[in-house]
Amino acid sequence: MLRVFLLAVLVGVALVAFGASASSGRSSSPSVHGRIAFVLHSNLFTIHPDGCCLKRLTSGRDADDAPAWSPAGRWLAFSRTSRDTRVTSVHVVSERGGRPRLVLRGARSPEWSPNGRRLAVVRNTRGLSSVWTVGSSGRDPRRALAGASDFDWSPSGHELAVLRSDGIWVVRVATGKARKVSSIFGLGWLDWSPDSTRLLLLTNDGIVTVSLADGAVIRLRTQRRPAPGEPQPRCSESVDHPAWSRDGRWIAYEEERRCAASSRDSGDGFFVATIQIISPDGRFHTQVDNLVWGFGHDGGPTSFVWSPDSRQLAFIDDDCSQLRHSLGQPTSREPPSE
């Protein structure tokens, strides 16, 4: 199993070297459903985790991004930006390839409902970002909530968690009825826990989970940002991209450490990126084994995705000059059984 995802990692490195997107955000992560879907030269490809059977699914001048597997693994939804009109729309394509089908114009960042019947997307209308749902055939588009910047489906598929500037809301998909869960200000990466009890997200202060029952916050990883006018420290740390494992027992996230060059140093300082794993109660915390740290302005693992069995992580490495990578599992003690 280790070899499977090690090969997937090495493929990711090659993709970066030849032009795959590695910017931060949901769209930069690969998508895994038995095969790994990824973006190379603005087109979609799939490959088996053992490195076999590379397949190109889309082609042409338009820029494709944000692939998302349907629950059954038969379709990929993705964002496509026209190079002529600059309009981004959501399409779906068969896992076998063929001509992509337009689902919704003026939309991006598709995510399938758990039953595969609808897609949630982000649309921008007159400068206002909103979350919509639409049937996978393109029929019955409905606005879920206006002013939204991020979203995630509930495990049941009956609700959407939506992030706005005034906090977190939960919307009943069938009726459109919305309730506010918390006033916390989030930056993104909203992720519904597999047991449906908590929401994970990134804030200015770090990584937190929020109870869906009463809005109670658990702070898992804090980060301090200098106040306006305060001198910038030589070294700084930041966290990004928190994500639940599929079984809900772990949370993985990216951690970056940047150090500017001192007056005695030659060069431009260094940058280190790692993947960290923490238990939902914050008691168990470890770094993934055997990751190679990248030095220089770019380097280290980013854009990871959990394997379906929650035992492995596949990731992309931004340092194209280094191809030495391996992948491991959490080494701290297992969290207590429920």
Question: What pLDDT, on the 0 to 100 scale, is given for residue 15?
Answer: 30
User: Which parts of the chain sit beneath pLDDT 50?
Assistant: 1-25, 28, 290-298, 319-338
- pLDDT, position 50: 74
Strand partners, 208: 201, 219
pLDDT of residue 296: 45
For residue 51, give every residue at least 6 positions away whose Cβ sits within 8 Å of its Cβ, in sequence order, or none: 7, 8, 10, 11
Q: What tens digit of pLDDT does each residue of 212-259 get? A: 999 999 999 987 666 677 777 777 888 999 999 999 999 999 888 877
237: its two tokens:
């740390």
Nearest to 308 by CA among 242, 244, 240: 244
Question: CB–CB of 319/298 below 8 Å?
Answer: yes
> Which residues lie below 8 Å from residue 67, measured CB to CB, with a gap of 6+?
30, 31, 37, 38, 39, 44, 76, 77, 78
Q: Provide the pLDDT for residue 225.
A: 66
C-alpha span between 165 and 160 (Å, rounded): 16
pTM of the model: 0.80
Beta bridge partner(s), residue 134: 119
CA separation for the pair 200, 146 (Å, rounded): 21
Q: Which helix (H) or strand (E) holds 243?
A: strand 235-244
Rounded-to-integer distance, Cα 71 and Cα 221, Å? 31
pLDDT value, residue 309: 83
The secondary structure element, H or E, covering residue 63 is: strand 63-69
CATH top class, domain 2-234: mainly beta
